[in-house]
Structure 1
Amino acid sequence: MRFLSDRVSMEETEGATSVVISARLKPAARTLLVTWTLAWTLCGAYMMWELIRMPPGEIRQYLLVFMAFWLYFEIRIGRALLWRLYGFELLRIKDGVFTIKDSIWGFGTARDHFLENVNDLRVLDIDEASWKWQMNESFWVIGGERLQFEHLGRTQAFGKGLTAEESRAVLKELQRAIGRSARRAAAGK
C-alpha cells in the first residue's frame, strides 16, 4: 500500500487497483461539526419535550411542522457527521469493472461500471468562486466531488473532498489502472 497523501491511499495487486479516500476532517473542524450536531439534537429534544407538554391548538400544529423540518435536517447532519468521522470512498478497478462505494463503517452501496462504458475520465470542471461550489465543498455536507466520467450518457462524479493535487494524482493512477485492465482484457486474462 502506498499513500498519495495523508487521506488517500492506493493498493495495486495482480489484476486489481484500489484507492481509498478518507473523509476525515482536521481536529478543529471535527470538533465544530460534533458540537453543532449535539446542539441541533439538544434543541430538537427540547422542542419535542415542549410539543409533548403543549395543549392542542394552532401553535402545536406549527410546532409539528417545525419538528418535521428539524427531523429532516437532523438526519442530514447525522449522516454528514458519520461520514466525516467514519466514512471512506472506495474506488476499485478489477476484472473490467470500476466500482465506487461510499462506505460508513463498511456499510454502503457499491456502484459498478463496466470499463468499456466509462468515457472521458477527468477532473471535474468547477468554478471555485461560485456559491454552489462553496456550499458543496463545506465540511458539514457530504459532497465536494472532484473527478467525473461519462457512463452510458450520464455523468458520474466521485472523489469527495479531494484537493486539486490529490485529484490529479488519483486521476493519473486510475487512468493507468484502466489502461492495465484494458491490456489484460485484450490479452484474454
Structure 2
Amino acid sequence: MEFLSPRVSIERSKDRLSVVISARLPKWQETLLVAWFLAWLLSGGYIFYSYLHLPHGGLRQYLLVFLAFWAYFALRIGKAVAWRLKGFESWRLKGGVFTLKNSIFGLGKARDHFVENIQDLGPLGRNERSLKWQINESFWVIGGERLVFTDRGRKFGFGKGLNDKEVGALLPLLEHAMHRERGRAEQPAGQP
C-alpha cells in the first residue's frame, strides 16, 4: 500500500486497483463542526422544551412545524459530522467493474459500473467564483467531488475533497487501469 497524501491511500496489484480517501478534516474544522452540531441540538432541545410547556394554539403549531424543519437539518448535520469523523470514499477497479462506495462507520452502498460503459472520465469542470462551487467545497457538507465520468448517459461524481495535486496523480493512474481492464475484456476467453 502506498500513500499519495495523509488522506489518500492506493493499493495496486496486477489485476486490481483500490483507492481509499479519508474524509477527515484538520482538527480545528472538526472541532468547529462538532460544536455547531451540539449547538444545533441544544437549541432544538430548548425549543422542544418550550413547545411542551405552551398552551394549545397558533404558536404551538408554529413550533411543531419549526421542529420538523429543525429535525431534518439535524439529521443532515449529523450525517455530515459522522462523514467527517468516520467516513471514507473507496474506489475499486477489478474484473472489469469499477466500484464506488461512500462509507460511514463502514456502512454504505457500493455502486458498480462496468468499465466498458464508462466514458468521459476526467476532472469535474468548476467555476471557483460560483456560489454553488463554494458551498460544495465547504467542510460542513458531504460533497466536493473532483472527478466525473458518464455511465450510459448519466454523470457520476467522485473523488470527494481531493486537491489538484491528488487529482493530477490519481487520474492518469485510474485511466491507465481502466484501459488495461478494457483490454482484458476484449481478449477472447482462454488467452492470457
The reply to whether TM is greater than 0.5 is: yes
- The alignment partner of 2:140 has SS state of coil
1:36-56 CA-to-partner distances (Å, cap 9, x unmatched) read 000001111111111111111
When the two chains are superposed, the root-mean-square deviation of aligned CA atoms in Å is 1.0
Alignment correspondent of 2:32: 32
- The alignment partner of 2:45 has SS state of helix
Alignment correspondent of 1:162: 162
1:68-113 CA-to-partner distances (Å, cap 9, x unmatched) read 1100100000000000000000001010000000001110000100
Q: Which runs of 5+ in 1 are unaligned?
A: none
The total of aligned residue pairs comes to 189
Decide which moves more: 161-170 or 20-29.
Answer: 161-170
- Distance in 2 (CA, whole Å) between partners of 1:172 and 1:46 is 52
Q: Which runs of 5+ in 2 are unaligned?
A: none
Alignment correspondent of 1:17: 17
1:65-104 paired onto structure 2 within 5 Å = 65-104=65-104
* Identical pairs, percent: 56
Decide which moves more: 32-41 or 169-178.
Answer: 169-178
Deviation at 1:181, TM superposition (A): 1.5
- Distance in 2 (CA, whole Å) between partners of 1:186 and 1:12 is 22
- Distance in 2 (CA, whole Å) between partners of 1:66 and 1:136 is 26
- The alignment partner of 1:145 has SS state of coil
Alignment correspondent of 1:113: 113
Alignment correspondent of 2:63: 63
- Corresponding position: 1:7 with 2:7: yes
1:123 and 1:168 in contact (8 A); partners too: no
1:109-134 CA-to-partner distances (Å, cap 9, x unmatched) read 00100000000100000001111100
1:10-42 CA-to-partner distances (Å, cap 9, x unmatched) read 001241110001100000100000000000011
- Corresponding position: 1:153 with 2:144: no
1:132-186 CA-to-partner distances (Å, cap 9, x unmatched) read 1000000000001000001100111111111111112121111121122223333
